[in-house]
Amino acid sequence: MIFKSTNIELEISIIGYEFASYMNDYDDRNWLQVRCCYKNNGNIICKEYPSLQTTDLKLLKKWLGNPPKRYT
Query: Tens of pLDDT along 32-56?
Result: 899 999 999 889 999 999 888 888 8
Distance CA 51, CA 15 (A): 11
More confident call, 27 vs 72: 27
According to DSSP, the residues that pair with 40 across neighbouring strands are 8, 43
The SS3 assignment for 33 reads strand
Distance CA 64, CA 10 (A): 15
Query: Tens of pLDDT along 12-31?
Result: 898 988 886 666 777 777 88
- What pLDDT sits at residue 37? 94
- What pLDDT sits at residue 45? 95
pTM: 0.68
Count of C-beta atoms within a 10 Å radius of residue 52: 19
